[in-house]
Structure 1
Amino acid sequence: MTQYHLHLKGYVGGADFNTESVLATLAANPDAEVSVLVDSTGGQLATALSISSAFHRHGKVHVHFSGMNASAATISSLGAQRISMDASALYLVHKCSVAVFEWASMNADQLQEYIDSLDKQKANLEKLDSHVAAMYAARCRKPHEDLLALMKTGGWLTAKEAKEWGFVDDITEYEEDVKPMMTEALATALATACIPIPAIPYAEGKTEQPSEPLFTRFMAALAGLFTFGNKTPEAAAQDPDTSIHNQEDNQTQTPNTPITPMKQMPHIEATLQVEGFTPNAEGSVPLTEAQLQSLEDHITAQETRITDQENQLTERNNRITELEAEVRALKATPADTTSSVVNNNSGENNQQPNRASEYLARVNSAKELYDLVS
């Protein structure tokens, strides 16, 4: 029975298939051949390239494929010195792809900008396809054009076909090897990633594929992306600033990925200073640690602002309560009389007579003078 130093499985870039575990295992066995068991339908190209490079630098690495292996999982093995494969295992290569999400009303200028951005993504994908095809061609010792054509076809290869192409060196029949079995969960994952579903037996005694058409199942899986309820935390922690991440690393889709609407989130985009988001095949939106910290700082600042406003509101409410108490106290106090005010006003009026009073005073003075003379 083969003893493996490392088992890489699941999503490439996830917890069970990452560069850190590979580097740690290789470092722990600097002078020995490291045996690695791989069982994965793909994931991030960036992680696959890193692992392939690590295998190449170590030198003595043996990769063994079991189950269904596709996309980035196959790329990760290219740096190994020796590659073997179960007789019952499957192998798939295909062209790079990027999830396209756009839901907006655009004028002619905006449409042109969007077309230009798609043209740029297309050029990047073509460059990546050529690079990956060159890696496959070097491994298989076949023309670059042949591998590029095979990637465009994107069909599953049996172990025998994979060996004929030169992807693997040996085919094994180990008693402990488990033949790949199809499950509903795996079929849904493959359909969501636009990877062809192979004709292999279904688990639990099922030998036929579901009667529901593949397109219907794919659309149902695609609709599930809008809930974003099945995010992979490891995928969300990846760095979208990596040159081949977030646009070119999505190796689990075909080039004909339909344009799927995505709800715009202007507040989050403004906080992170990005123009939209590009989810990967699993519906996850990768964020860097710096972006997560930016969100944390923004939320903290908003909570502080809300707390300050609540304190100000409390102070105002307390002041209103005090003023209301003063008003009630004033209402309960007996009112002052206004006689003094009236008397003062009367005095002022006497001190400042009007014209009629002055005329009458002059008449009286003249009369008194007349009486004295006469």
Structure 2
Amino acid sequence: MNEVLITLFGSISQYWYDKNYMKYFLDKAKGKPVRLKVTSYGGDVAEAVAISNLLAEHGDVTVEFIGFNASAATWMAFGAKRIEMHADGMWLAHKCSVGVDIYGSLNADQLDDKIKELQSSKQSAEAIDLMIAKKYADRSGKTVKDVLSLMKESKWIAADEVKEWGFVDEIIPGINKRAKVTDELTNCFNAMGLPLPVIEEAKPDSTPSMVDQIVAGIKDFFKPKENPITNKIVTTMRKEFISVNQVLNVEGLEENEGKITLTVDQLKAINDAIRSAKDGQTTAENSLKAVVDDLDSLSDQVKAAADNKAKVQVIRNVINKVPGTQTSTKQESTEVNKYADIATDPINHYENE
């Protein structure tokens, strides 16, 4: 099922993005997964609390932070089922601000009244700060004291640090990132009984292939290990190398003084597994090339795209221009445009945040 897209690009307040705006679109998406894209410097605490509760009430909302996000916008997302943040985004947690209006000349009695008023405002601000800090602490598992210290610093922090604090679930990488070992790839290797490759940081002109990594892993397995405790021959049944044991169809391998002896049939089994992996890699690479060639043949614009993801986007842009091909998500975006009187945020007013 496609996610319903809702955007919140601007100040959170009763005049811009408020609880009524969010409730309208969440009600329309009832029973469907929602992706709420947010870039906001925050705003009204009361509106943010209400929006957070509405997200929790819907139950299936993913908040995607893009750009810079601060203040009420950050913890507003805690009502969502999942929170993601782009790698190039920034995050700011700080103490709340209250309006102070002092103008003109005041006598002693008036000054005393103003001092009492400011003391009351200070107590209110401290109560709000404590509420916000508890939200951060409940989400992250950190102490309220630690969170209040972070809020007092009032500094922008990068996405990786935000994740370390436990405020988001996942960092969305930028383009040109190395491939990750996905669950699908893990399942394929486990089914074949092969060691899982470890993708390390890329080195210029020296990126090992997947097969090379498998071979390196097997070589490392058979390296002799020193026994610093005794010079006596100690036989140990090694069962922890599950992938190798699966290839050889054994429960474990006997190790003597850090060495393991294999039969010719066992070596043949390992050799066949590596060859199968290499053939599979070659087939996958050829299939991918064939698909890319077919895409490039569609138009020069597709062929000139920077990478495969860009090629797909070029094709998607063309399809979206064809009448009658809009997805439900695209149609939802049209509905958002119809609600432009409250959805538009031409100027961020967050000085009273």
TM-score by length of 2: 0.49
| Structure number with bigger Rg | 1
